[in-house]
Copies of this chain bind each other. A is one copy, B any other.
Amino acid sequence: MSSPTAPRASTSGLRVDAERNRQRIVAAAREAFAESGLDVPMEDIARRAGVGVGTLYRRYPTRADLVAAAFEVKMRAYADAARQALADPDPWHGFCVYVEKICSMQAGDRGFTTVLTMTFPTAKQFEASRDRAFGDFTTLIERAKAAGRLRADFVTEDMPMFLMANAGVLTSIGDAAPEAWRRFVGYLLQACAAQSAQPLPDPPAPRQMYRAMLRATGYQRGARRTGAAAVTGHGGDQSGPADAGEQAPQTFLAG
């Protein structure tokens, strides 16, 4: 504008070559995350994209930023699945198809498996999808309960719990037995049927779920691999700083 050389570029405000690189990076990240999980070395992604690590870091300073960018589309598809399930005339069928669908999405993408079981307070881009998915899912289970097919004591928190379980199945035998998760989900769905449901132990509190999903958010900064222990520091130390900024107890995938 004012300065003699102000290279305003296309839509994104980036120079066209930079924008092209950015897209390559996101594409590479999608592939790499899907294949190897959220822990792939940044350098692998950069190489795959044909750029230097410097470029990658310039565009996405933290791994979380990149994850958010890479899964934006998939998160929308995730939300869409709930919306579509609502369109099913049979509430119970809709519920089953939905659960299967989401678990299937996990099965096809190592990174997504992880993304679904954690929440990114930072990632504004996910908020809309998450909220929508949460709202629709809530309706979905209410309908299924009303139809008398879904057990009455099913709670929203059960869904992320199932996803965590499915993640366990997938990370353990996903490679060796790519179809095993289907059987597992079959068990889960049958357990969800109202017919002959027996009492269950209490579900985790929404707030607990929220904290759990915050877990791997260590990906935000200097994350240390594993996805399991290492993240929070070292597991022990219950004397920690008690999470000051912990608001939203709405849990699930709604931050």
- Residue A201 at the B interface, CB < 8 A? yes
CB of A132 within 8 A of chain B? Answer: no
B40, B179, B197, B211: which contacts A176 (Cβ < 8 A)? B211
Contacts of A176 in B (CB 8 A): 204, 208-209, 211-212, 215
- CB within 8 Å of B: which A6-49 residues: 35-37, 39-40
- Which residue of B167, B172, B229 contacts A215 across the interface (Cβ within 8 Å)? B172
The CA-CA distance from A158 to B169 in the complex, in Å, is: 11
CB-CB < 8 A to A208: which residues of B?
Answer: 173, 176-177, 180
A196 interface residue per 8 A CB criterion: yes
* Proximity bits, A159-195, B CB within 8 Å = 1, else 0: 0010011111101110111011011101110111101
Q: Are B173 and A164 in contact (CB under 8 A)?
A: yes
Residue ID in chain B nearest A207 by CB atoms: B176
Given A186-B201, A215-B172, A229-B110: A235 and B36 interface contact (C-beta under 8 Å)? yes
B161 lies within 8 A of A183 (CB): yes
Q: How many copies does the complex hold?
A: 2
Contacts of A205 in B (CB 8 A): 177
Instruction: Mark out the residues of chain A between 95 and 149 whose CB falls within 8 Å of any chain B CB in the assembled complex.
Output: 110, 117
Whether A218 is near chain B, meaning CB under 8 Å from some CB there, is no
Query: 26 A–B contact pairs at CB < 8 A?
Result: A35-B234, A35-B236, A36-B236, A37-B229, A37-B235, A158-B183, A161-B184, A164-B172, A164-B173, A167-B172, A175-B212, A176-B215, A177-B204, A177-B205, A179-B202, A180-B203, A180-B204, A183-B204, A186-B199, A187-B192, A190-B196, A190-B197, A193-B196, A226-B227, A226-B228, A227-B228
Minimum Cβ distance to chain B for residue A29 (Å): 15
What residue of chain B has the Cβ atom nearest to residue A199's Cβ? B186
Given the known inter-chain contacts A39-B229, A196-B196, A229-B36, please indicate yes or no for A201 contacting B179, CB distance below 8 A: yes
Residue of B nearest to A35 (CB): B235
CB distance from A115 to the nearest CB of B (A): 12
* A200: interface (CB < 8 Å): yes
Is A225 part of the contact surface with B, judged by Cβ < 8 Å? yes
Q: Which of A216-234 contact B (CB under 8 A)?
A: 225-230, 232, 234
A239 on the B face (CB < 8 A) = no
Is residue A5 within 8 Å, beta carbon to beta carbon, of the partner chain? no
